């Protein structure tokens, strides 16, 4: 499973990138606001060192305007994935932009029917939002499994990009199901390294090592 980092914080992306934990980046208007930077400027900087897809989201609501914004964003770098919402106008924009050879990430997906439409429109990525489904007492990872089945049934090329990942259990479950990609905040990716038994075992090792009185260097 590929790891995308869901942030516009360049320093946080660089840290994970240096460890080989970054296969791509996703951003959205909320993350751009949090960064406090110009969308074109920060996206260009991210693309300067991240080789994989970098999603940059349009903010228009009408198809023609989405297409114009998508073309502008795609001009930043060859690895830009234009992010459009899963609306009828978003699907229209997806069809045009994908037809021009651009990567398109269709976002805010909450149903199998929506995911099916996105694949038919030529989406490179579909982004189902797991955490937001959990918020309304629907098991978000069930949607990932259902989309996986449908896409496999018909051999769609669209990649499942599990989004709104909030916990390490979300990440593990998506990997087990077979999501192509997950996008998560840096804090969640780092938390995946933790386990109470790892901490307990290390603590015991350190106590026993101290008793030996030895040094390695």
**31 pLDDT tier (thresholds 50, 70, 90):** very high
Whole-number pLDDT of residue 65: 98
pLDDT band at 141, cuts 50/70/90? very high
CB 130 within 8 A of CB 146: no
Q: What is the pLDDT of residue 81?
A: 98
Average pLDDT along the chain: 97
Across the range 159-167, mean pLDDT stands at 97
Position 175 scores a pLDDT of 98
Rounded to whole angstroms, how far apart are CA atoms 29 and 71? 17
User: Annotated catalytic sites, by residue?
Assistant: 83
| 207 token code pair | 């106590």
- Residues 107-112, mean pLDDT to the nearest whole number: 98
The predicted pLDDT at position 186 comes to: 97
Question: Where are the domains positioned within the chain?
Answer: 2-212
Q: Percent of the chain beyond pLDDT 90?
A: 100
Please give the pLDDT value at position 157. Answer: 98
Mean pLDDT of 126-155: 98
In CATH, the architecture of 2-212 is Alpha-Beta Barrel (3.20)
In this prediction, residue 24 carries a pLDDT of: 98
Task: Using pLDDT thresholds of 50, 70 and 90, give the confidence band for residue 105.
Answer: very high
Predicted pLDDT at 166: 96
Distance of CA 97 to CAs 72, 82, 85, 86, 121, Å?
A: 11, 8, 13, 14, 10
Q: Are 120 and 106 in contact (CB under 8 A)?
A: no
The whole-angstrom separation of Cα 82 and Cα 100 is 12
Q: Average of pLDDT values for 127-137?
A: 97
Confirm if 160 and 119 have CB atoms less than 8 A apart.
no
Of the pLDDT bands very low, low, confident and very high (cuts 50, 70, 90), residue 216 is very high
- Give tens-digit pLDDT for 39-94: 999 999 999 999 999 999 999 999 999 999 999 999 999 999 999 999 999 999 99
């Amino acid at each position: 499973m590929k790891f995308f980092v869901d942030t516009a914080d360049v320093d946080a992306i660089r840290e994970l990138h240096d460890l080989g934990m970054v296969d791509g980046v996703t951003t959205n208007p909320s993350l751009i606001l949090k960064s406090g930077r110009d969308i074109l400027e920060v996206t260009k900087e991210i693309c300067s060192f991240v080789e994989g897809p970098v999603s940059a989201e349009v903010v228009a609501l009408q198809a023609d305007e989405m297409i114009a914004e998508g073309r502008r964003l795609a001009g930043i770098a060859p690895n830009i994935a234009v992010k459009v919402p899963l609306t009828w106008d978003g699907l229209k924009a997806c069809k045009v932009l994908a037809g021009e050879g651009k990567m398109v990430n269709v976002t805010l997906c909450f149903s199998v029917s929506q995911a099916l439409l996105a694949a038919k429109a030529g989406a490179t990525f579909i982004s189902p939002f797991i955490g937001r489904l959990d918020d309304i007492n629907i098991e978000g990872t069930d949607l990932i499994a259902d989309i996986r089945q449908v896409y496999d049934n018909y051999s769609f090329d669209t990649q499942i990009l599990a989004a709104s990942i909030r916990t390490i259990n979300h990440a593990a479950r998506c990997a087990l199901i077979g999501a192509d990609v997950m996008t998560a905040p840096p804090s969640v990716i780092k938390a995946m390294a933790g386990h109470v038994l790892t901490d307990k075992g290390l603590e015991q090792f350190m106590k026993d090592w101290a008793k030996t009185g030895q040094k390695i260097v």
